[in-house]
Amino acid sequence: MCGTMVQAFEQRGDAVTLSDLYAMNFNPVLSGADFKERRDPNYLIYALEQRHALEQGALADDIAREVERVEAADLLAFSFPLFWFSPPAILKGWIERVFLSGLFYGGRRVYDRAGLVGKRAFTAFSLGGRPHMFGDEGIHGELETGMLKHFLQGTLGYVGLTVYEPFAAFHVPYISADERADLLTRLRLTIADLDQRPTMAFPSLEDFDLHFRPKPMEV
């Protein structure tokens, strides 16, 4: 699926930069070693050290390179197998280390006022489950707005990205090679037509006051 995505974006004429986390042996565990210089060497408050290191140019090299890639991108595309209704640990750790407090979000700069407003995100994932297991009547409830809310809204939407409806490759371990080839074709067509794809609705800061309390309805 990742290879198909790279090809499909290139066929649109997009320049693609690939961060293959497994191939890069990306370290997903945050620590004090993520900062070349510390604001407080004795007690690690990770978000505050992120802000300090950003000002001082003191981010670890592996983080700084990924931050640059995110900043240079118009669109972030994620590809992974869904494990336990969420991205694999290696991608979760990439988010924890690369989505910098102060730069991508912080204070009241979340959702439609966050740092990545103007950029877009597209996610394609595989899973073992089938479509009828999700939705209002499905055993697991909603997929995109339920099980995956923490990622699509709470992570991608939170940092201000415009999030296309994701591409789900259902039941992948149990289907035939022909059916898998068909999924790749559908993924390719989805990316070719991405500009037409619906985007997800997230909260707007316009509807909340300075303390994130809902504003009274206007009458």
Burial (CB count <10 Å: 0-12, 13-18, 19+), residue 33: exposed
Query: Is 74 an interacting residue with respect to a copy of itself (CB under 8 A)?
Result: no
CB of 14 to a copy of itself, least distance (A): 27
- SS3 string, 35-80, reads ECCCCCCCCCCHHHHHHHHHHHCCECHHHHHHHHHHHHCCEEEEEE
CB of 168 to a copy of itself, least distance (A): 15
Query: Is 200 an interacting residue with respect to a copy of itself (CB under 8 A)?
Result: no
How far is Cα of residue 66 from the mean position of the Cα atoms in its chain? 13
| Cα dihedral 154/102/123/95 (nearest 10) | -90
CB of 136 to a copy of itself, least distance (A): 10
Query: Is 22 an interacting residue with respect to a copy of itself (CB under 8 A)?
Result: yes
CB of 210 to a copy of itself, least distance (A): 12
Q: Which of residues 141-180 bind a copy of itself (CB under 8 A)?
A: 141, 146-151, 153-155, 158, 173
Query: Is 2 an interacting residue with respect to a copy of itself (CB under 8 A)?
Result: no
Q: Which of 210, 213, 218, 219 binds a copy of itself (CB under 8 A)?
A: 213
Query: Is 107 an interacting residue with respect to a copy of itself (CB under 8 A)?
Result: no
Q: Which of 14, 62, 96, 112 binds a copy of itself (CB under 8 A)?
A: 96
CB of 192 to a copy of itself, least distance (A): 29
CB of 10 to a copy of itself, least distance (A): 26
Stretch that binds a copy of itself, among 53-61, 62-70, 71-79, 133-141 (CB under 8 A): 133-141
Q: Which of 2, 45, 117, 189 binds a copy of itself (CB under 8 A)?
A: 45
| Cα dihedral 171/173/175/177 (nearest 10) | 130
Residues in contact with a copy of itself by the rule CB under 8 A: 22, 28-31, 45, 47, 83-86, 88-90, 92-93, 95-96, 99, 111, 128, 130, 132-133, 137-141, 146-151, 153-155, 158, 173, 203, 208, 211-214
